[in-house]
Structure formats: structure tokens, C-alpha cells
């Protein structure tokens, strides 16, 4: 069986060979980037935004974290702010026109949040604190749908977490200003790994509609 790292090196060599056929395209890329879209996605290895949406290199500015969450705006600097820095850079310097927050079904981060609530979860140094961002989503799912099976409750929590992230995103002054000036649009999407389908959130209807 081929070693995972060896396979990656083989993939790189194949990429390099194929890229040589697009020399002009990659030459232009080295001059600078001008992506129109920021994607904030879960770092789950099965959820790869540029592959899901068939985006070319240079089209998407992507930042990934556990559960694809957006933290609230915070300038206390008591910890590092990778996702916040990516948002700031994308909006102020790259001047992206779209922000997509992409969640997915079967999210391990959301599962950890639910397990912790049920006291079945062992303590972690970083995940527990990070997932506190989504606690209001869990509370909303539990208060509205108390008697649902745990799997369906998790799906609701995943969707509610996307809504929380939209609200948090708008606490960033640069995002709020750009959105108010109609220079920036915010979207939330849910990826279903099993069905290989993507749903788009409609805030007017408060529903996720399958993209066909």
C-alpha cells in the first residue's frame, strides 16, 4: 500500500507536469491575486470548496477552521485571531465582493459541542473553547426541537451555526460597511457529503434551498 506522503509527492509531480501546459495562466498568477470571493469553511478533509465549486487557482481566498465558524469581532488581542485576520485582509485589501460561509452535514466540531453538552466529551485544550462560538446555535436547536433524534438535532445545530456566523461576520466594521454600501454580499451554504449536494441559505425565508 502506497504511503500517504509518497502519494502526495506523486500528485505534486503530476500537478507540475499538467501546469506546464498552462504556463501563461500560472505566470499571470505570480504577479498577484485578485479573488472576488472569500470562503470560510470547515477544515474537514472531505469538504474542499474550490473542488466543490470547480474554482480555478486565484478565484477564491479560503480560510478554514473547525466547523467553519466566524468568531465575533474582538480587538482584545488576548489570543490569536487567524479567521478574523483573514476576514479583515479579504475585505480591506482584496476587496472581495462575496463571502461564503460553508458548513456541512456530519460536522465533527458540532458533534463535539453536543457531546460536551451531554457530558460525554473529554476535555480538549483548544476545541472546546473554539466551539463556544456555536453554543447559541445548540441552544436554538434544543429549545425549538427538544424531542428530535440526536442526528436531526445535529443537522439543525449545523444550520443554526451558519446563521450565528453570519451575525458574527456583520460585527466586523469593515464587513458591515461594505455590506451596507452594497459592495459585499454574504452567503451561507451547507454541503451534504453523502448526497454530494450544496444548499444555499435564503434569509428572507429562513430556509436552506438545494442548489440545482
pLDDT at 141: 83
pLDDT at 146: 67
- If one counts every other C-beta atom within 10 angstroms of the C-beta of residue 50, the result is 14
pLDDT at 102: 98
pLDDT-above-90 percentage for the chain? 73
Compute the residue count for the chain: 212
pLDDT tens, residue by residue, 3-56: 999 999 999 999 988 887 788 888 899 999 999 999 999 999 999 999 999 999
Categorize the per-residue pLDDT at 120 as very low, low, confident or very high, splitting at 50, 70 and 90.
Answer: low
Helix (H) or strand (E) holding 63: strand 60-65
- If one counts every other C-beta atom within 10 angstroms of the C-beta of residue 190, the result is 22
Helix (H) or strand (E) holding 101: strand 98-104
pLDDT at 171: 97
- Average pLDDT of 204-208? 96
Determine phi and psi for 111, rounding to 5 degrees: -60, -40
**pTM (2 decimals)?**
0.93
Strand partners, 103: 190
Amino acid at each position: 500500500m502506497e504511503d500517504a506522503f509518497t502519494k502526495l509527492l506523486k500528485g505534486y509531480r503530476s500537478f507540475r507536469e499538467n501546469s506546464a501546459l498552462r504556463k501563461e495562466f500560472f505566470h499571470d498568477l505570480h504577479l498577484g491575486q485578485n479573488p472576488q470571493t472569500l470562503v470560510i469553511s470547515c477544515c474537514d478533509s472531505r469538504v474542499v470548496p474550490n473542488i466543490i465549486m470547480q474554482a480555478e487557482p486565484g478565484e477564491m481566498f479560503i480560510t478554514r477552521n473547525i466547523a467553519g465558524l466566524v468568531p465575533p469581532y474582538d480587538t482584545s488581542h488576548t489570543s490569536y485571531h487567524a479567521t478574523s485576520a483573514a476576514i479583515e485582509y479579504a475585505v480591506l485589501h482584496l476587496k472581495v465582493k462575496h463571502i461564503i460561509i460553508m458548513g456541512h452535514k456530519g460536522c465533527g466540531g458540532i458533534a463535539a459541542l453536543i457531546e460536551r453538552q451531554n457530558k460525554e466529551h473529554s476535555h480538549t485544550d483548544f476545541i472546546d473553547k473554539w466551539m463556544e462560538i456555536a453554543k447559541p446555535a445548540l441552544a436554538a436547536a434544543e429549545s425549538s426541537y427538544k424531542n428530535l433524534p440526536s442526528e436531526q438535532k445535529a443537522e439543525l445545530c449545523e444550520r443554526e451555526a451558519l446563521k450565528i456566523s453570519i451575525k458574527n461576520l456583520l460585527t466586523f466594521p469593515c464587513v458591515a460597511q461594505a455590506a451596507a454600501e452594497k459592495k459585499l454580499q454574504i452567503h451561507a451554504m451547507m454541503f451534504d457529503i453523502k448526497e454530494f449536494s450544496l444548499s444555499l441559505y435564503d434569509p428572507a425565508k429562513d430556509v436552506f434551498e438545494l442548489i440545482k
